[in-house]
């Protein structure tokens, strides 16, 4: 069992191999050699050529709930004290802001010693059951506390756990009772696309099993349900507060100020628990959030103990297991691997024959055609487009020019005379340039040459970890057969979030030879419209009909706004602050 977990030295990683069979992996004799090394240490030559003595120990355990119960020798979820880290009673699992006595190696050994002093087996079992406890092989290992090493895991505790298994099912039941599952599915289908965010066409009829799908649903669910549920819905408030908690707890950089903010989110979330829908919040994954602050302070961000990196192997193992009959699976899987190697070798040899190469080429062509159709239907954002004409010291770069030749501003206006966005285009552009660059002295007879582009890269500093990040903004009337005019955050003098929708990306060459990058945009302004339930941090914007010009140097990053209804040309939008941690932090400052 120990080979499944992160076994870490103070500064070196030790891989513990199990020399014994599966029947006695939990016996202390199995890892006697590791215990010996932990006691006396082992010499290791460091990169500075000095030999130092290291004492290995299990400091982090990346486990889901059941694995943690088994590994920490607890009695799992049905025990009176189900938590592997503390002695919380099963009736108090909903109290996520309360503190309970922690399990430690010393305290649990004391319980076992107390039980051993009893004269009858019944009395001994009663003491052990009251603590939900069994003996643990790591009790006698230095630098290895199995209860402290168990780490918070966002993949199993949150995404398919507290959200996917509990709140998501509660939401579907509520929509079913109101006969609103159909409109909800349609709202999710119309939800705007965003790079890295899955798009769901049949969200209520598909049983999702991967944590990323549940997390993506959580990010975009509120605008799709707020008008379907009753006014001031406790369920909407509860989901929003959990949404804030999930985004904050998953951040990769957690200074003390964010920990304090996370503590506030946990308290708000507990205060919003409601039995309006008959939901019992006494379950272990709900209680796990009570340990998260202590975990982050002790071990760093939650990604250090995440089980997500190992999920890919589990999917491969499950796929291989599905080809067996369920009996003696290990032998069948090994034989399957050998057969696959023979098949690959055979195909490689067949590839040397001309006739076979032609057949493979035909198959490959059909596969490529199918992949392309799937790619277009899913509207993947992974498009290999390189930015062109990058300006020195600029944080943006245009790409995908509409045409290789330049066009003067008057001709561009005539070419797009059917579009309201280009109404009086030449006059308004000259007015904007005169205000922005008064030294240019633009005259009516001067020619302004323009090249249009379809997308732009924007580089910015992420507030999550203060490292560089990049967005790709689409400004295309037909991107995979759909209109794609994305929205951006704009830096204005007023200290709040300003949004705009890109309608055209223009590189203007002025009579003096100066080049300036300009965007034709629809600005957004604060809206007076109110949803049925106004959740914490809800920001609503109205899209201005008239277009205006914006210098690209004022664009900060991309943002996502979702229309409040499916009406054509709906002007009112929700500002979505959940697509990534950086956007959430920016919106949280002004909420």
Query: Are residue 132 and residue 63 in the same domain, yes or no?
Result: yes
Name the domain count of the chain: 3
Query: Are residue 403 and residue 370 in the same domain, yes or no?
Result: no
Query: Are residue 439 and residue 582 in the same domain, yes or no?
Result: yes
- Quick one: pLDDT band at residue 356, thresholds 50, 70, 90? low
CB neighbours of 15 closer than 8 A, spacing ≥ 6? 3, 7
Question: Is the residue at 539 inside a domain?
Answer: yes
Report the share of the chain in percent with pLDDT over 70.
78
Summarised one tens digit per residue, pLDDT across range 516-550 is 999 999 999 999 999 999 999 999 999 999 999 99
- DSSP-derived 3-state class of residue 166: helix
pTM: 0.79
Strands 449-461 and 498-509: antiparallel
Question: Is the residue at 25 inside a domain?
Answer: yes
Pick the range with the lowest mean pLDDT from 26-35, 379-388, 541-550.
Answer: 379-388
Note whether 210 and 179 are within 8 A (CB): no
- Quick one: pLDDT band at residue 359, thresholds 50, 70, 90? low
Best-predicted range by mean pLDDT (190-194, 279-283, 443-447):
190-194
- Quick one: pLDDT band at residue 239, thresholds 50, 70, 90? very high
Nearest to 473 by CA among 501, 497, 450: 501
Domain that residue 44 falls in: 2-149
* DSSP H helical ranges for 131-254: 146-149, 154-157, 168-177, 181-190, 211-220, 222-225, 234-249
Summarised one tens digit per residue, pLDDT across range 412-431 is 999 888 888 898 999 999 99
Query: Are residue 354 and residue 427 in the same domain, yes or no?
Result: no
Question: Is the residue at 233 inside a domain?
Answer: no
d(CA 441, CA 355): 70
Summarised one tens digit per residue, pLDDT across range 297-330 is 999 999 888 887 766 656 666 666 666 776 666 6
Query: Are residue 334 and residue 482 in the same domain, yes or no?
Result: no
SS (H, E, C) 8-71: ECCCCECCCCCCCCHHHCCCHHHHHHHHHHHHHCEEEECCCCCEEEECCECCCECCCHHHHHHH
- Quick one: pLDDT band at residue 13, thresholds 50, 70, 90? very low
- Quick one: pLDDT band at residue 14, thresholds 50, 70, 90? very low
């Amino acid at each position: 069992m120990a080979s499944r977990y992160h076994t870490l030295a103070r500064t070196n990683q030790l891989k513990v191999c199990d020399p014994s069979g599966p029947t006695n992996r939990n016996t202390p004799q199995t890892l006697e050699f590791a215990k010996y090394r932990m006691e006396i240490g082992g010499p290791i030559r460091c990169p500075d050529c000095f030999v130092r003595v290291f004492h290995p120990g299990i400091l982090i355990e990346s486990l889901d709930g059941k694995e943690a119960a088994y590994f920490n020798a607890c009695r799992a979820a049905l025990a009176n004290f189900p938590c592997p880290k503390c002695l919380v009673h099963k009736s108090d699992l909903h109290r996520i802001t309360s503190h309970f006595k922690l399990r430690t190696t010393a305290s649990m050994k004391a319980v076992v010693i107390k039980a051993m002093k009893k004269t009858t087996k019944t009395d001994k079992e009663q003491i052990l059951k009251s603590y939900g406890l069994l003996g643990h092989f790591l009790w006698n290992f230095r630098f290895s506390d199995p209860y402290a090493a168990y780490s918070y895991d966002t993949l199993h505790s949150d995404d398919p756990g507290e959200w996917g298994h509990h709140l998501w099912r509660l939401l579907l039941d509520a929509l079913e009772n109101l006969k609103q599952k159909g409109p909800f599915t349609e709202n999710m289908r119309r939800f705007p696309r965003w790079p890295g965010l899955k798009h769901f066409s049949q969200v209520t009829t598909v049983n999702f099993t991967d944590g990323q799908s549940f997390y993506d649903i959580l990010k975009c669910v509120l605008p799709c349900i707020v008008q379907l549920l009753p006014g001031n819905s406790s369920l909407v408030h509860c989901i929003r507060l959990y949404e804030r908690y999930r985004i904050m707890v998953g951040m990769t950089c957690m200074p003390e100020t964010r920990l304090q903010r996370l503590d506030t989110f946990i308290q708000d979330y507990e205060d919003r628990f409601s039995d309006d829908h008959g939901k019992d919040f006494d379950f272990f994954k709900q209680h796990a959030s009570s340990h998260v602050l202590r975990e982050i302070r002790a071990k760093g961000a939650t990604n250090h103990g995440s089980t997500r990196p190992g999920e890919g192997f589990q999917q491969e193992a499950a796929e291989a297991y599905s080809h067996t009959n369920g009996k003696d699976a290990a032998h069948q899987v090994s034989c399957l691997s050998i057969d696959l190697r023979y098949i690959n070798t055979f195909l490689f040899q067949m590839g040397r024959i001309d006739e076979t190469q032609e057949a493979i080429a035909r198959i490959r062509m059909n596969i490529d055609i199918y992949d392309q159709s799937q790619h277009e239907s899913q509207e993947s954002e992974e498009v290999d487009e390189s930015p062109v004409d990058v300006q020195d010291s600029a944080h943006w770069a245009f790409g995908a020019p509409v045409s290789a030749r330049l066009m003067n501003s008057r001709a561009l206006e005539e070419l797009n005379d059917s579009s309201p966005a280009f109404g009086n285009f030449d006059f308004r552009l000259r007015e904007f340039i005169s205000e922005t660059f008064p030294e240019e002295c633009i005259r009516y007879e001067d020619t302004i040459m323009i090249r249009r582009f379809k997308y732009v890269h924007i580089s910015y500093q992420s507030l999550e970890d203060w490292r560089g990040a990049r967005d790709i903004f689409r400004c295309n009337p037909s991107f995979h057969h759909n209109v794609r005019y994305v929205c951006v955050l704009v830096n204005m003098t007023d200290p709040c979030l300003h949004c705009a929708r890109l309608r055209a990306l223009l590189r203007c060459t002025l009579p003096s030879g100066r080049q300036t990058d300009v965007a034709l945009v629809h600005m957004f302004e604060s809206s007076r419209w109110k949803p049925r339930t106004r959740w914490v941090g809800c920001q609503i914007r109205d899209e201005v009909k008239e277009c205006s010009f914006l210098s690209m140097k004022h664009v900060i990053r991309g943002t996502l706004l979702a229309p409040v209804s499916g009406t054509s040309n709906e002007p009112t939008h929700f500002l979505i602050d959940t697509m990534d941690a950086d956007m959430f932090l920016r919106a949280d400052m002004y909420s």
